Amino acid sequence: MKKLLTGNESAALAAKLSKVQVVSAYPITPQTQIVEQISEMVAKNEMKAEYINVESEHSVISALAGAEATGARCFTATSSQGLALMHEVLFFMAGWQITAATISCDMVSDHITLMVKRDWSCECTWSNKYKIVALQNPKQKFSRDIKARIAKCQWPDCKFVLGYRDKLIAEESAVKK
């Protein structure tokens, strides 16, 4: 059976299907519907996760950082302003090698999520979604805007991703000395 879902409903369902174990949330438009639906799924035992309702976006990411450090699979949703309030804790997460950060990339004029893994390998979600798809399937159709961004994308030699990784390596080397 097919069902038509909104983007927010799809995100909530994706969190459920990803079997996240901890969800930390603070409502902020336009993502409120995502965390409301997850809250309902948890309350109805349709989703086995710990749902933490906190008092700010800073607390959201702090709770997730702690849970992620224990190895739990975590999820939250936010808007641009919420992400700005989470920014401070993202640096701690990077130092702990908890792998998630969403940044604004000037090269593609878009927000990208980049991940630096424990072995220092890197991934960029924007590159995975567009550039790698374009390289693997030259017949894939993209809008002119996306084609222009693909041309600007420097993956795998992206200064944003590699700069972020190199900063983490330098910080870890300084800690070990």
Give the integer Cα–Cα distance in Å for 26 and 177: 39
Task: Tell me the residue length of the chain.
Answer: 177
Q: What is the mean pLDDT of residues 31-57?
A: 92
Give the integer Cα–Cα distance in Å for 128 and 22: 26
Q: Which CATH class is domain 1-97?
A: alpha beta
For residue 166, CA distances in Å to 103, 107, 153, 156 come to 16, 19, 19, 14
46 Cβ neighbours under 8 A, 6+ residues apart? 16
Q: What is the pLDDT of residue 36?
A: 92
Q: What is the pLDDT of residue 102?
A: 46
Q: Locate 94 and state its tokens.
A: 């990077």
* pLDDT-above-70 percentage for the chain: 71
User: pLDDT tens digits, residue range 64-122?
Assistant: 888 887 778 888 887 777 777 887 787 677 667 665 544 445 455 555 555 555 555 66
Domains of the chain, by residue range, sit at 1-97, 99-177
Q: What is the pLDDT of residue 103?
A: 45
For residue 30, CA distances in Å to 27, 36, 82 come to 9, 12, 11
Give the integer Cα–Cα distance in Å for 146 and 149: 5
